[in-house]
């Protein structure tokens, strides 16, 4: 296959580039580098199956020749990033998704949208199934990301129903691993960075809110399988190992053997109280479930952080 990956220099995008190259496909990575980083794909430079295009996906794009699939992964994805880049986040989810879908239609390519557990907002049911419609505050600070992704899902389904584009929608739950930016503000890089420096781990609120963390190699394998599947419905991909943020802080302390203390800070507005994927659909449709435990994933990630300080 020849595939286009928007956001190809980002955390998930770059791991997808690696996976597609490893499986023998040809990859064009596109990124405007506002949160992506060339270091994530430096190692692919010179590979005859790899090309990078510095471009903002919200502007018209011209790609000569055939394309078999487009994976639309461009977007700020950490709460800190999308709070700092609210308009860009709305634009890439709406205008960027429109451009990428238009290209998929033109090339008769499969279109895969990177959606998110944030479409469930602050969920009133736990774990979340794909059939749950969510509980989102449209005008809150997180609304710029949540509503952009919800609009992107709606647009994707409209292109499927109206234009017959073969679409896939992956709802990605918290994912972590090497290449997360130390300062991207998410809990995994924050706690690891703080623990390695011996600084206090900053737990927001009382730490009773839950998350379920998936290691990146499991995530990209699930996305790959979904791309090759027959389904056009949204599918959750994530690890079901749910824990509170306070438990997570203690786990990081145990693994890193840091002397860091735990400090409590204000809870961000609209921070979801619970989050856990129901992955029955992924198991059934694409025979996927995570293989790497949170602890094993953290060991690998911490090793990478130590090497890339
Ligand atoms: N969080 C925290 N300390 C931090 C960063 C995040 O306690 O230094 C909390 C945050 O409030 C949320 C959870 O950890 O409840 C996960 O946050 P993250 O930013 O990683 O992503 P989210 O799941 O909220 O999109």
User: For residues 303 and 239, is the Cβ–Cβ distance under 8 A?
Assistant: no
What rounded mean pLDDT belongs to the chain?
Answer: 97
Alpha carbons 21 and 50: distance in angstroms, whole number: 8
Atom of ligand 1 nearest to the CA of 249: 7
Atom of ligand 1 nearest to the CA of 78: 19
Mean pLDDT of 249-274: 97
Alpha carbons 31 and 14: distance in angstroms, whole number: 10
User: What per-residue confidence (pLDDT) applies to 233?
Assistant: 97
User: Residue 45: how many CA atoms within 13 Å on its side-chain side?
Assistant: 7
Mean pLDDT of 161-190: 97
Q: 214 CB less than 6 Å from ligand 1?
A: no
Q: 209 CB less than 6 Å from ligand 1?
A: yes
User: What per-residue confidence (pLDDT) applies to 194?
Assistant: 97
Q: Which residue in this structure is represented by tokens 């203390």? A: 261
Query: Which residue owns the Cα nearest ligand 1 atom 4?
Result: 187
Mean pLDDT of 254-259: 96
User: What per-residue confidence (pLDDT) applies to 13?
Assistant: 98
**pLDDT band at residue 1, thresholds of 50, 70 and 90?**
very high
Nearest partner of 213 among 262, 180, 257, judged by Cα: 180
Q: 183 vs 9, which has greater pLDDT?
A: 9
Specify the CATH number for 2-176+216-238+277-290; select among 3.40.50.1970, 2.60.40.1120, 3.40.50.720, 3.40.50.880: 3.40.50.720
Q: 220 CB less than 6 Å from ligand 1?
A: no
Of residues 82, 120, 145, 215, which has the active-site annotation?
Answer: 145
Q: 141 CB less than 6 Å from ligand 1?
A: no
Q: What does the domain layout of the chain look like in residue ranges?
A: 2-176+216-238+277-290
Nearest partner of 112 among 255, 36, 191, 223, judged by Cα: 223
Alpha carbons 74 and 38: distance in angstroms, whole number: 14
User: For residues 19 and 43, is the Cβ–Cβ distance under 8 A?
Assistant: no
Query: Which residue owns the Cα nearest ligand 1 atom 16?
Result: 187
Q: What Cα–Cα distance (Å) separates residue 10 from each residue in 14, 35, 40, 120, 264? A: 6, 7, 7, 23, 30
For the chain, what percent of residues have pLDDT higher than 90?
98
Listing DSSP states for 239-307 in one string gives ---EEEHHHHHHHHHHHHT--PPEEEEPPPTT--S---B--HHHHHHH-----S-HHHHHHHHHHHHHH
Does 145 qualify as catalytic in the annotation? yes
Atom of ligand 1 nearest to the CA of 190: 8
Q: What Cα–Cα distance (Å) separates residue 198 from each residue in 104, 228, 301, 303? A: 48, 44, 17, 16
Query: Which residue owns the Cα nearest ligand 1 atom 1?
Result: 187
User: What per-residue confidence (pLDDT) applies to 309?
Assistant: 77
User: For residues 247 and 212, is the Cβ–Cβ distance under 8 A?
Assistant: no
Judged on CB neighbours under 10 Å (0-12, 13-18, 19+), 109 is buried
Alpha carbons 190 and 229: distance in angstroms, whole number: 35
Alpha carbons 109 and 112: distance in angstroms, whole number: 10
Q: 211 CB less than 6 Å from ligand 1?
A: yes
Judged on CB neighbours under 10 Å (0-12, 13-18, 19+), 89 is buried
Distance (angstroms) between ligand 1 centre and the Cα of 188 equals 8
Q: Which of 80, 245, 264 to mutate to test the pocket of ligand 1 (most atoms within 8 A of CB)?
A: 245
Mean pLDDT of 58-80: 96
User: What per-residue confidence (pLDDT) applies to 282?
Assistant: 98
Helical pair 294-307 and 245-256, crossing angle rounded to 10 deg: 60
Mean pLDDT of 70-94: 96
User: For residues 66 and 1, is the Cβ–Cβ distance under 8 A?
Assistant: no
User: What per-residue confidence (pLDDT) applies to 180?
Assistant: 97
Mean pLDDT of 267-279: 97
pLDDT of residue 154 exceeding 80, the answer is yes
Alpha carbons 273 and 264: distance in angstroms, whole number: 16
Q: What is the pLDDT of residues 12-26, one digit of tens each?
A: 999 999 999 999 999
Q: How many CB atoms lie within 10 A of CB 268?
A: 15
Atom of ligand 1 nearest to the CA of 209: 15
Q: Which residue in this structure is represented by tokens 């596109």? A: 30
Q: 203 CB less than 6 Å from ligand 1?
A: yes
Q: Which of 76, 116, 149, 187 to mutate to test the pocket of ligand 1 (most atoms within 8 A of CB)?
A: 187
Q: 268 CB less than 6 Å from ligand 1?
A: yes
């Amino acid at each position: 296959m020849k595939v286009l990956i928007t956001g190809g220099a980002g955390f998930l995008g770059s791991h997808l580039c690696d996976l597609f190259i490893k499986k023998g496909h040809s990859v064009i990575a596109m990124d405007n580098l506002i949160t992506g980083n060339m270091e994530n794909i430096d190692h692919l430079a010179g590979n005859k199956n790899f090309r990078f295009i510095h471009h903002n996906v919200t502007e018209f794009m011209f790609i000569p020749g055939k394309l078999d699939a487009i994976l639309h992964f461009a977007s700020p994805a950490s709460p800190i990033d999308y709070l700092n880049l609210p308009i860009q986040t709305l634009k890439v989810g709406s205008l960027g998704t429109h451009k990428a879908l238009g290209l998929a239609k033109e090339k008769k390519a499969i279109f895969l949208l990177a959606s998110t557990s944030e479409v469930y907002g602050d969920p009133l049911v736990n774990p979340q199934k794909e059939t749950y419609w969510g509980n989102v505050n449209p005008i809150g600070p997180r609304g710029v990301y949540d509503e952009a992704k919800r609009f992107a899902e709606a647009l994707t389904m409209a292109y499927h129903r109206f234009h017959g584009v073969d679409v896939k929608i992956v709802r990605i739950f918290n994912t972590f691993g090497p290449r997360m930016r130390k300062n991207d503000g998410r809990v995994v890089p924050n706690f690891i960075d703080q623990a390695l420096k011996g600084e206090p781990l900053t737990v927001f609120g009382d730490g009773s809110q839950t998350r379920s963390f998936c290691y990146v190699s499991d995530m990209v394998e699930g996305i790959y399988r979904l791309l090759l599947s027959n389904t056009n419905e949204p599918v959750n991909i994530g690890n079901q190992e749910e824990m509170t943020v306070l438990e997570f802080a203690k786990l990081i302390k145990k693994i890193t053997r840091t002397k860091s203390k735990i400090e409590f800070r204000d809870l961000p507005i609209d921070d979801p109280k619970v989050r856990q994927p129901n992955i029955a659909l992924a198991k059934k449709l694409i025979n996927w479930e995570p293989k790497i435990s949170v602890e094993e994933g953290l060991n690998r990630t911490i090793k990478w952080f130590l090497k890339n300080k």
